[in-house]
Structure 1
Amino acid sequence: MALASTLHEILSAAQARSFMYSQVADCEEPIMSREGEITNQFHLMKLGRWQWWILVAVNIFFLVAGQAAAVILGRFYYDQGGNSKWLATLVQTAAFPVLFIPFFLLASAKDSSDSSTAPSIRTLALIYFVLGVLIAGDNMLYSVGLLYLSASTYSLICATQLAFNAVFSYFINSQKFTILILNSVVVLTLSASLIAVNDDSDKPSGVSKWKYFIGFICTIAASAMYSLILSLMQLSFDKFIKKETFSAVLEMQIYTSLVATCVSTVGLFASGEWNTLHGEMEAFGKGSLAYVMTVVWTAISWQVCSVGVVGLIFIVSSLFSNVISTVSLAITPIASVIAFHDKMGGVKVIALLLACWGFASYIYQNYVDDSNARKAQIDVDGSQNDSVC
């Protein structure tokens, strides 16, 4: 109930902010602040209240369903005889052209940022290349983790990314390290520790304790690297790109995914795993057609999740997108129990409850920070509107 109340307050605040933007539109010349962000909001505010809610609900569905489906299909691929780690890495970004659909349909409003402040092509290319290579390495770690862990265990360990995110945000993005954030870090660490020491944890068939340990370490490392990537992306927006519009966020997603896809493709061929793909498809437990469909739909699911993430950032806020992302991490273990009948013993239930506790602490702290920032922005915009109207 507390989480639902927080989500309702975030959405209500977002709509209040949207109403404020519509009042700015009544002035003779709308104020362009934060690099064209208001221009994009004007297009959204033409929607009715119920249309806005439908759009939010659709993007929530994309994020939660996309992430849960991608993890479940990835585990299904391994369970039915798939064994290519590089292919599992490739499909996490290979369907990035799907992002061109919202890019061309919804990013029609041109950014109004001064071209003199825009980064050079060389700088942008370097940012996208470095982040793309890191994403490819991160996806490989996730692939190894999912190979040796059950889907539910894998998802619970992935929840530690919030703890790592707090640490990296403190050192890289100068974010405050409050008592709530510290509580989140400690609780999520305890949750992962319970999974690590659980001797009765449900390991996939044929996985030894040593491989289970490797999967655990790789998933922890992947969560840490993912948090580092998020912090570096935020740093890139703040220091170099200097805008965080819908177009800019989508471009970041598209070009880093392009680089990651190229790196994964090179890895697939350099490792020689591409030679085994035909035999793997023929020996797939559910047949060749099921093999192809599993690979295709896994790739699409990851990009559907990306569309939901970007959509919620644009429609509501980055805080709300983060809220739904963390909630989906708790939903995925439940979905995997239904899909694969994973064991949900007492230790894993306690780990899930601890993860939810950590989520709530992290989310509430971000909600408090976002509320304070929003109030300050409303005060600034209100004084600017009075001077213009």
Structure 2
Amino acid sequence: MRLYFVHGGNRVWLSSVLQTAGFPFIIAVLIVLYFWRSAVAKKQNNKTTKLFYMHPRLFLAAVFIGLITGLDNYMYAYGVARLPVHTNSVNAAVLLTVGTGVLALHASSDRPEGESKKEYTMGFVMTLMAALVYGFLLPLIELTYNKAQQEITYTLVLEIQMVLSFVCYCVLCGRNDCQQ
């Protein structure tokens, strides 16, 4: 992601959107799973097959998490655009936070040309906030699964991921700079 910004890219929203833009592929998998479940139900003389497994309460939880994920993706992309940090994975929010702090304290000469100290500092703050928010996202998703009050199946997980990613995508594409 950093290479995009190093080589003249300036659209933070584009980097943000790309983090969850693959959700339409989930729809294709869900369609295949629906027809498979329907065929299994017919063999068992059960005529009805639910189109969606997700209960409304779980849907709302996925929408909420999608909103937070959209915000987190934007903060992360904004930080990467401003800092000389290339991070392939944020699996460990603690490492990201510590690594960003170390680089920010010792990287005054690494500031991209033409970038103000204010933009650089804002990048540091946004990356730090993104790491903190992401540190809460995974436990929040796990809590959602635990409180789902329904059996967690592969189909249900895909439905949750589709809603989460779609909402995240809409949040990021709803920004004014996305429509340029």
Q: TM-score, normalised by structure 1?
A: 0.37
Asked if the contact 1:75–1:147 (Cα under 8 Å) also holds between the matched residues in 2, the reply is: yes
Note the 1:200-279 alignment, pairs <5 A.
200=108, 202-267=110-175, 271-275=176-180
Match for residue 24 of structure 2 among 70, 78, 97: 97
Q: CA deviation at 1:95?
A: 2.5
Counterpart-to-counterpart distance in 1, 2:91 and 2:22: 25
1:93-150 deviation per Cα after TM superposition (whole angstroms, max 9, x unaligned): 222112234445578568xxxxxxxx97331221121111111111110110111123
Structure 2 CA distance for partners of 1:83 and 1:229, relative to 1, 3 Å? same
Asked if the contact 2:16–2:77 (Cα under 8 Å) also holds between the matched residues in 1, the reply is: yes
Asked if the contact 2:2–2:86 (Cα under 8 Å) also holds between the matched residues in 1, the reply is: no
Q: Which structure has the highest helix share of the two?
A: 1
Asked if the contact 1:158–1:220 (Cα under 8 Å) also holds between the matched residues in 2, the reply is: no
Structure 2 CA distance for partners of 1:156 and 1:122, relative to 1, 3 Å? closer
Q: Which amino acid aligns with 1:155?
A: T
Q: Which amino acid aligns with 1:210?
A: K
> Looking at CA atoms only, which structure, 1 or 2, has the larger radius of gyration?
1
Match for residue 155 of structure 1 among 75, 87, 102: 87
Structure 2 CA distance for partners of 1:233 and 1:77, relative to 1, 3 Å? same
Over aligned residues, Cα RMSD in angstroms?
A: 3.0
Q: Is 1:88 aligned to residue 15 of structure 2?
A: yes
Counterpart-to-counterpart distance in 1, 2:27 and 2:150: 22
1:20 is matched with none
Where do 5+ consecutive residues of structure 1 fail to align? 1-73, 111-118, 164-186, 276-389
Asked if the contact 2:96–2:131 (Cα under 8 Å) also holds between the matched residues in 1, the reply is: no
Asked if the contact 2:72–2:130 (Cα under 8 Å) also holds between the matched residues in 1, the reply is: yes
Asked if the contact 1:154–1:219 (Cα under 8 Å) also holds between the matched residues in 2, the reply is: no
2:103 is matched with 195
2:56 is matched with 122
Asked if the contact 1:145–1:154 (Cα under 8 Å) also holds between the matched residues in 2, the reply is: no
Counterpart-to-counterpart distance in 2, 1:128 and 1:199: 38
Is the partner of 2:110 in helix, strand or coil? coil
Structure 2 CA distance for partners of 1:224 and 1:190, relative to 1, 3 Å? closer
Q: Is 1:146 aligned to residue 80 of structure 2?
A: yes
Aligned length: 165
1:233-253 deviation per Cα after TM superposition (whole angstroms, max 9, x unaligned): 111100125444322222221
Seq. identity, % = 30
Counterpart-to-counterpart distance in 2, 1:189 and 1:93: 22
Structure 2 CA distance for partners of 1:223 and 1:241, relative to 1, 3 Å? farther
1:198-249 deviation per Cα after TM superposition (whole angstroms, max 9, x unaligned): 1356333322333222112111111111121111111110012544432222
Asked if the contact 1:158–1:219 (Cα under 8 Å) also holds between the matched residues in 2, the reply is: no
1:5-59 deviation per Cα after TM superposition (whole angstroms, max 9, x unaligned): xxxxxxxxxxxxxxxxxxxxxxxxxxxxxxxxxxxxxxxxxxxxxxxxxxxxxxx
Compare relative contact order (CA 8 Å, sep 6+) and give the higher one, 1 or 2: 2
Structure 2 CA distance for partners of 1:90 and 1:188, relative to 1, 3 Å? closer
Where do 5+ consecutive residues of structure 2 fail to align? 41-52
